[in-house]
Amino acid sequence: MSLLGENIWINGVIIIVGSAVLVFIGGVFSMLYRGIDRKLVAHMQGRVGPPIVQPFRDVQKLMMKESIIPDGAVSWLFKAAPFICLITSALLLLYIPMFGLQALLGGFGDALLIVYLLILPSLALAVGGFASSSPYATVGAQREMVVLMSLEFPLAIAIVSLGWRIGHATTQLTPPANPFMFSTIAEYPIWSLVGPLGIVGGLILVFTLMVVTSGKGAKVPFDAAEAETEIAGGVLVEYSGRNLCLFYLADIIKAFAMASLVVALFIPYNLSPLIGIGTPVLAGIVDGLFFLVKVFAVMFISMSVIRTAMARFKISQASWVYIIGMTLVSLVGLILLAVDSMV
């Protein structure tokens, strides 16, 4: 075997093993954060709430139950949708920087790729609803598609605005850097490139992504696709057992990945250089814990606080918030960044 072939084989093994480890660790922390979220929301609403380990118990219980395929469903598509949803959600963890380290597949994709990858879990969820033959699931799948199409506008504007501003500030580099690569974003944080107007514009874009994170996580007030009191669970009404467990895990991991994306774009700082830790192992532990704190703060604000303070929107209201409201807000952020670059 040639040296080149041996290196390719070794890199392939590293990527496969690293992907499995990263997805496992990300899944564990995702379920832990979901348990903390449910407990905090319960306390804010004056309830006791389930124990923090409840998501782990839910997964264990669902994995032991039978997956029932309803009569009239498109069987192969009904069973494939949960796997596709989980795989594409887990794939997000490989392209977004985690735990103070570079993304495992960061050299093969950038923030624009994440915009496209975020579509796939929601699309798989909608396909599963359409394939189930239930009228409730069909209504839920239609709502899922409406929300998906609505929130893509502000999400794309926020990421493109950030990349454009970083690209404008790094045009003199040789060779030119890709402003959408997470390594470039971490090396040139937006807050170090802008003045007062740019800081306001950046904060507006952070707010936009916070609201998008709530919608991507399908949490109140943007959970019309799964409204139990209206459509009995919507897209998931016919799912049970292991298939339901896969959707459950995908939803948790996607929410964690979305919060990690906000951190990677706007808070790409490590703590160890600031406090002067030089030991690699200790620095890695400190930066990993700091990353978890940042992700928790984003999830707490964008999910826990919002769903505690608000009631469920109608699908028309949820669509209006994103297509009109958040799109205009993100455009204001873009304009402020543009004006700041000219001052």
By CB neighbour count within 10 A (0-12 exposed, 13-18 middle, 19+ buried), where does 101 fall?
middle
Is 2 a member of any domain? no
User: Any idea what the Cα angle at residue 93 is, between residues 255 and 327, rounded to 5°?
Assistant: 50
| pLDDT of 2 over the 60 cut | no
**Residue 175 scores a pLDDT above 90:** no
Give which of 256, 273, 331, 287 is closest to 23, Cα–Cα.
256
25 lies in some domain: no
Rg of the Cα atoms in the chain: 21
The beta strand positions in the chain, using DSSP E, are: none
Q: What is the DSSP string of 50-97?
A: --TTHHHHHHHHHHTSPPPPPTTS-HHHHHHHHHHHHHHHHHHHHHS-
Domain span holding position 88:
61-342
Burial of 147 (0-12, 13-18, 19+ CB in 10 A): buried
Report pLDDT digits (tens) over 216-230: 876 777 777 776 666
Tell me the DSSP string of 146-175.
Answer: HHHHHHHHHHHHHHHHHHHHHHHHTTT-SS
Residues 135/320/247/22 CA torsion (nearest 10 deg): 170
For residue 111, give the nearest of 221, 269, 258 by alpha carbon. 258
Q: Is residue 317 part of a domain?
A: yes
Quick one: pLDDT at residue 231? 66
Is 12 domain-assigned?
Answer: no
pLDDT value at residue 1: 47
**pLDDT tens across 129-157, in order?**
888 888 888 888 888 888 888 888 899 99
Domains of the chain: total = 1
Instruction: Name 168's Cβ contacts closer than 8 Å, sequence gap at least 6.
Output: 341
Residue 174 lies inside a defined structural domain of this protein:
yes
The b-or-e profile of 251-278 (16+ CB within 10 A means b, else e) is: bbbbbbbbbbbbbbbbbbbbbbeeeebe
Global pTM value: 0.91
* pLDDT, tens only, 16-35: 888 888 889 988 999 999 99
Q: Would 194 be classed as within a structural domain?
A: yes
**Residue 49 counted as domain residue:** no
Q: What is the DSSP letter of 238?
A: T
How many other CB atoms are there within 10 angstroms of residue 124's CB atom? 24
Longest dimension (CA), the chain: 66
Q: What is the sign, positive or negative, of the torsion defined by CA atoms of 99, 100, 104, 107?
A: positive
pLDDT recorded at residue 208: 93
pLDDT in tens, 261-291: 999 999 988 888 888 787 888 888 888 999 9
In a domain, 76, yes or no: yes
